[in-house]
Structure 1
Amino acid sequence: MSDRDTIHAHIEAHIGEHIANIQRLVQQPSVSLEKTGLRECAALLVSNMMAAGFTEAETVDVGDDYPGVWGMVDCGKPTTMLIYGHYDVRPVGTEAWTHPPFSGEAIPFDGFPKVVLGRGAAAQKGPLQAWINAVSSILSVEGALPVNLIFLIEGAELLGSPNYGKLFERYRDRLAQVSALYGPKTAQDASGAVSMTLGYKGLIYLEFVASTQSTGLGPQGGAVHSATSVVVDNPVWRLLHAMASLTDDTGRTIAIPELAAMMAQAKPIADWERPLLDAMRAGVAGKDPNGFIPGLAPQFPVKTFKEEVAPADLLQRYMYGPSFNISGLRSGYTGPGTKSFLLPDTATATCDLRVISEVGAQDIIAIIRRHLDSAGFPDITIRVMAAYDWYQTSLESSLIRATLATLDAYDCPRTIWPVQGFGGPWAHFAKLLGIPSLQGGSPGHGARLATSDEFLVVEGDGKVASLATIERYYVDLIYAFAAVTKQ
C-alpha cells in the first residue's frame, strides 16, 4: 500500500470522528450579523487545529467583535499554501426549519443517505473542517505535509469582511512566503459537476449617511414628532435626493460621469477566456436564468430582467458588467411593532458596488465622494465597510494546474468560470502578494445556504462526493500542488 493509500485508509477509518468534528462546529452558533457566539466559535476552531497537529493556532483580536483565527502547519518546506475561510454564518432566517438550525444532526435528508444539517454546514464550516480533517490524517500517517500551510480565517465575511485588511496586516511579513491561496468550499452540484471560478469582481461596500448633525438642520441628537415636519427639515429626504443623483431615473445606469466613463471601458475578454466563456454561453442556451446565475434563488424567481436578451447574453453581462446596488435603507424606528409619527435625525443607505476595473477600489470611492460634493451633497457621509479590488487567476498558474490534475484523477466534470459577480478579501493576496487564488473547485455538495435546512452531504449518492471523498481529494490536492511547484 502506498503512503497516499495509507492516508486515504486513515480517513476512512476515522470518518465517524471527522463527521463529529463538523457537527460540533455547526452546533456552535456564530452569526456575525447578530454578534452571536463568535468568540466561542473562533476558540473552537483553534482547539480543532491544535487537535489536528498544527504547530500554531490562535485567535486574533483586531479591536472589534469579530475575532480572526491564525493557524500554521510548519513542516520546513520551501512552498507554503494559504487557506482562507470564514466561520461566521448567516442568521437563521424566517423560513421554517424541519430540524433545529444549530443541531448539526447527521441524518438522511433530501434524498441523500446522510448529511450534516444546520446553519453553516455547507458554507463554510463543513468544507473548512473537512480540510482540517484531511491535514490531520496526513500528519497522523506521515508526520509532516509536503508543503507548509497557513490559515487566516475571519469571522465577518457575511458583513463584507470589514476587518480582513487588519488581519492581513497583522501577519503581512509571514504571509510574504505564501505561494497560493485556496479556500475550501462546496462546489459540486446535484449532478456531480464541479464549478470553479478563476476571477471575481471588486467589492466596494459603503454606507451613505445623512445626519442633522452634519447640516445643522433638523432635530439634533434624536427624533421629534412628525407634526413638526412643516417647520423642521427631515434628513431622509436629503439622503433620497443624494442617492437619486447616483443613477438615472430608472436606477439601472450609473450617472456619475467620471465613474460611468470608467465603466464604459469594458474589460477585454482575453484569448484564453474566450473558449471558457463560449462553453458557458452554449451551456445556458434556452435555460431559465434563475437556475444558472449565482445568487438567484429559484424559490424567489425573477420574472423580468433589466434587459430583454438571450440567456447567454444575460450570463455574460452578469459576469463582466458593473453593478451599483442599494441593499438597505434605514431611518427612524426599526424595532418590533411600530413607533409612529417620527421625524428622525439620521438616515442610512447601505450599498455595494461590483466592478471589473483597473482603477482601484479606494480611487473609485474617491470618485463617488467628488461626485456628491459637486452635486451639492458634501454633508453626506460615506462609511467604507469594505473595499476590495477585482482579480483573476491564470489557467497556467501552479494552483489551477494542480486543481485540474486532481479533478481529472477523480473523474469530475467541471465548469470553469473566467469571472463571477461576487468579490471579497482574497483579492488582497492576488493583488498585493501576486499569487494565484482559488475558492472551491472541488467535490462536495451542500445546499440551501441562504434559506432553512442548510446541509452538507457526508454520504453521497453515487453522483456527489461523500465526506471521505472530499477529504481524500484535499489530501491529493495538497500533494499535487507540492509536485507542481517543484517543477
Structure 2
Amino acid sequence: MQDDSRIEDVVSTLEAQLPEALERLKEFLRIPSVSTDPAHAGDVRAAAEWLCAELQGLGFLASVRPTPGHPMVVAHSPKGNRRPLLFYGHYDVQPVDPLALWDRPPFEPMIEETADGPVIRGRGAADDKGQLMTFVEAFRAWKTVHGALPTDLVLLFEGEEESGSPSLQPFLRENAEELRADLAMICDTGLYSDGRPAMTTQLRGLLGEEIVVRGADRDLHSGSFGGLAANPIQILVNALATVKDAGGHVTLPGFYDGVEELSDELRADWQDLGFDAAEFLARVGLKHPVGETGRTGLEMVWNRPTFEINGITGGYTGDGFKTVLPAEARAKVSFRLTGTQNPEAIRVAFRAHVRAAIPDDCTVEFHGHGASRASRMDTSDPAFAAAKQALSQEWGREAAYIGAGGSIPVAGDFKEILGMDSLLIGFGRDDDRIHSPNEKYNLESFAKGARSWARILAALA
C-alpha cells in the first residue's frame, strides 16, 4: 500500500521545479546526437557524457560504456538489497532532413504556444530525450524530497536506437547478470489518440528487405528493345504485387503461422476505445480504410501482420522524359509481425517468392534490414494493475491497455535475453511529428509524465 503523503510531496516538488527541468531538457536537446550520421559521432558521445554526469549528480553509480558503435549509459542506484527495476530509453535522435521544412533550427529548442497548449519544439523532444527525461526528473524529485529512491534501479540508456540498435543484443548478453531485474520500464511510447494515458501491452515485430533486380548490362532504348528485352522494374513490381491478394491477405506459404486472434476480453476493451478508422485516416488526407477484409481498424494496426512496399527506384527519374528499359530496379519492403511469427522463416519464404518471378537471364540479390519478433506482455502480473492505477490517478482518466502497430525490438530483447516483461508507458502524442520536421513534445506530457513515473515508482516499490 503506497504512502500518499510521500508521493504527493514528490509530485509537488516536480510541479515547483518544472522551469528548471525544462532548462535541463533544452540543454540536452541542443546536443545533435544523430546516430546514423558518422559526422555526429562526437555529438552522440557528448550526449552520453551529459546524461552520465546528470545521473552521477543524483547519486547514481553511472558510466559511459563502449560498444563497437555508440556508447551505452548504465547507472545503478545505491543498493538496498531489493530486486531492481530497469529503466530504458535512448538518447540518440533521427536526422533532421529535410532541413528546409523546419520552422526554426532543429537543435535550438524553444517553448512555443499552440492551440493545444505549450510545447517544446526541437529534434528529439518527443523521441526520445523528452520522454527519457521524465524518468530522470522523477528520480531527481524523489531524491530531493526523501533523500533516496523508493526501490533499487538500473538505468540503461542507448545511443543507437535510431540506427537499428546493432550493439544492443550483444551488450545485453555480455552484461545480463548486471542488468537483469524484476521488470523493465520503457518510455518510447505514447498516449492513446484521445489523450488518455495508456500502457502498451503488445508490439508488432518487424522484418525489412531490400531487393535488387538486374537485367541488361546497360539501360536500353525502349523503342529498340521494348517488348523483347526483360524490364527489371516490371519484373520487380510483378513479384511484389502478388505478395498480397485482393482481400489484403499475404500469400507467402506459412506466413500466418503463429498469428493469434484477439481474446474476447481484449477485443471488448479495444472496442470501448471508440477508434474511428475513417477519422484516423482523415488526419492525413485519406478517407477510405483498406486492408484485410473482415477486420476492425484497431485489429489491422495493432494485431494483424502486414506487408508494405516502402520504396521503389529504377530507370530515369529526372526532369523531362527518357524512354529506357532500366538495367536495374530496387525496392525496399517491410513486414510487421504479430503473435509468434518467425521473421527468418518469412524472410526465406519472401525471397523464394521473388526468385520464382525472375527470368533466367536476370539476377536478384537481397539485403536484410533487421528482423525482430512481436512482443506481448503478461498483464496478469500485479505490477501492470498497480502502474495502471498510478497512471489513472495522475491523469484523472482511466488508463487503457493498448497495442502498437510499430516495433520496439528492445522489449523483445529484454524478454528473450533478460527474461523479463516490460511496462511500455510513454506520453507522446500522435501529432508530435517524430522523425519529421518540427518535432515537438507537449509540456503537459513532460510534466505529467514525470509525475506519472514518480507515482509508478511508489506503486511498484
For 1:165 and 1:346, the matched residues in 2 are separated by 35
Q: State which of 315, 335, 339 in structure 2 corresponds to 1:357.
A: 339
Please say if residues 209 and 369 of structure 2, whose CA atoms lie closer than 8 Å, have aligned partners that are also in contact: yes
Please say if residues 52 and 135 of structure 1, whose CA atoms lie closer than 8 Å, have aligned partners that are also in contact: no
Aligned partner of residue 394 in structure 1, secondary structure: coil
2:155 equivalent in structure 1: 151
Using the TM superposition, give the Cα deviation of residue 354 of structure 1 relative to its aligned residue in structure 2, in angstroms. Answer: 1.1
Compared CA separation, residues 208 and 83, structure 1 to 2 (3 A):
farther
The RMSD of aligned alpha carbons is 3.7
Q: Which amino acid aligns with 2:453?
A: Y
Residues 419-449 of structure 1, C-alpha deviation per residue, up to 9 Å, x if partnerless? Answer: 3322221222234433222322559897333
2:136 equivalent in structure 1: 132
Q: Which amino acid aligns with 1:171?
A: N
Q: Which amino acid aligns with 2:334?
A: D
Using the TM superposition, give the Cα deviation of residue 225 of structure 1 relative to its aligned residue in structure 2, in angstroms. Answer: 4.9
Aligned partner of residue 128 in structure 2, secondary structure: helix
2:123 equivalent in structure 1: 119
Compared CA separation, residues 415 and 347, structure 1 to 2 (3 A):
farther
Q: Which amino acid aligns with 2:263?
A: A
Residues 440-461 of structure 1, C-alpha deviation per residue, up to 9 Å, x if partnerless? Answer: 2559897333544332222x4x
1:430 equivalent in structure 2: 415
Task: Point out the more displaced range, 389-398 or 141-150.
Answer: 141-150
Q: State which of 447, 450, 459 in structure 2 corresponds to 1:471.
A: 450
Residues 311-367 of structure 1, C-alpha deviation per residue, up to 9 Å, x if partnerless? Answer: x82333333222100111234688x87996777665332111112232322232233
Residues 263-300 of structure 1, C-alpha deviation per residue, up to 9 Å, x if partnerless? Answer: 5x7513235424313323xx23xx45343xxxx571x2
Please say if residues 225 and 341 of structure 1, whose CA atoms lie closer than 8 Å, have aligned partners that are also in contact: no
For 1:193 and 1:258, the matched residues in 2 are separated by 38
2:305 equivalent in structure 1: 322
Aligned partner of residue 71 in structure 1, secondary structure: strand
For 2:154 and 2:174, the matched residues in 1 are separated by 14
Compared CA separation, residues 337 and 475, structure 1 to 2 (3 A):
farther
Note the residue ranges of structure 1 that are not aligned, 5 or more in a row: 483-487
For 1:350 and 1:188, the matched residues in 2 are separated by 30
For 1:440 and 1:134, the matched residues in 2 are separated by 14
Using the TM superposition, give the Cα deviation of residue 235 of structure 1 relative to its aligned residue in structure 2, in angstroms. Answer: 4.5
Please say if residues 131 and 187 of structure 2, whose CA atoms lie closer than 8 Å, have aligned partners that are also in contact: yes
Using the TM superposition, give the Cα deviation of residue 70 of structure 1 relative to its aligned residue in structure 2, in angstroms. Answer: 2.6
2:270 equivalent in structure 1: 277
Using the TM superposition, give the Cα deviation of residue 140 of structure 1 relative to its aligned residue in structure 2, in angstroms. Answer: 4.3
Q: Which amino acid aligns with 2:331?
A: A
For 1:237 and 1:106, the matched residues in 2 are separated by 50
Note the residue ranges of structure 2 that are not aligned, 5 or more in a row: none
2:93 equivalent in structure 1: 88
For 1:472 and 1:323, the matched residues in 2 are separated by 37
Q: State which of 246, 254, 278 in structure 2 corresponds to 1:258.
A: 254
For 1:58 and 1:428, the matched residues in 2 are separated by 21
Q: Which amino acid aligns with 1:325?
A: E
Aligned partner of residue 286 in structure 2, secondary structure: coil
1:366 equivalent in structure 2: 348
Aligned partner of residue 475 in structure 1, secondary structure: helix
Residues 135-187 of structure 1, C-alpha deviation per residue, up to 9 Å, x if partnerless? Answer: 23333444443333333334444455455434433433433x22222122463
Please say if residues 443 and 470 of structure 1, whose CA atoms lie closer than 8 Å, have aligned partners that are also in contact: no
Please say if residues 52 and 73 of structure 2, whose CA atoms lie closer than 8 Å, have aligned partners that are also in contact: no
Superposition TM-score, scaled by structure 1 size: 0.78
1:348 equivalent in structure 2: 330
Q: Which amino acid aligns with 1:56?
A: A
Compared CA separation, residues 297 and 23, structure 1 to 2 (3 A):
farther
For 2:367 and 2:84, the matched residues in 1 are separated by 36
1:485 equivalent in structure 2: none
Compared CA separation, residues 445 and 388, structure 1 to 2 (3 A):
closer
Using the TM superposition, give the Cα deviation of residue 105 of structure 1 relative to its aligned residue in structure 2, in angstroms. Answer: 0.7
Aligned partner of residue 303 in structure 1, secondary structure: coil
Superposition TM-score, scaled by structure 2 size: 0.82
Task: Point out the more displaced range, 440-449 or 146-155.
Answer: 440-449
Q: Which amino acid aligns with 1:358?
A: T
For 2:270 and 2:315, the matched residues in 1 are separated by 46
1:247 equivalent in structure 2: 244
Using the TM superposition, give the Cα deviation of residue 246 of structure 1 relative to its aligned residue in structure 2, in angstroms. Answer: 2.8
1:104 equivalent in structure 2: 109
Please say if residues 131 and 427 of structure 2, whose CA atoms lie closer than 8 Å, have aligned partners that are also in contact: no
Please say if residues 72 and 148 of structure 1, whose CA atoms lie closer than 8 Å, have aligned partners that are also in contact: no
Please say if residues 356 and 390 of structure 1, whose CA atoms lie closer than 8 Å, have aligned partners that are also in contact: yes
1:199 equivalent in structure 2: 202
Q: Which amino acid aligns with 1:118?
A: G
Compared CA separation, residues 141 and 359, structure 1 to 2 (3 A):
same
Using the TM superposition, give the Cα deviation of residue 479 of structure 1 relative to its aligned residue in structure 2, in angstroms. Answer: 2.2
Q: Which amino acid aligns with 1:269?
A: L
Please say if residues 161 and 386 of structure 1, whose CA atoms lie closer than 8 Å, have aligned partners that are also in contact: no
For 2:399 and 2:184, the matched residues in 1 are separated by 20
Identical aligned pairs, as a percentage?
Answer: 23
For 2:193 and 2:262, the matched residues in 1 are separated by 30
Aligned partner of residue 49 in structure 2, secondary structure: helix
Aligned partner of residue 96 in structure 2, secondary structure: coil
Please say if residues 361 and 389 of structure 1, whose CA atoms lie closer than 8 Å, have aligned partners that are also in contact: yes
Residues 49-89 of structure 1, C-alpha deviation per residue, up to 9 Å, x if partnerless? Answer: 322323123154334xxx24232123224322222323222
For 1:225 and 1:268, the matched residues in 2 are separated by 48
Number of equivalences: 447
For 1:37 and 1:333, the matched residues in 2 are separated by 33
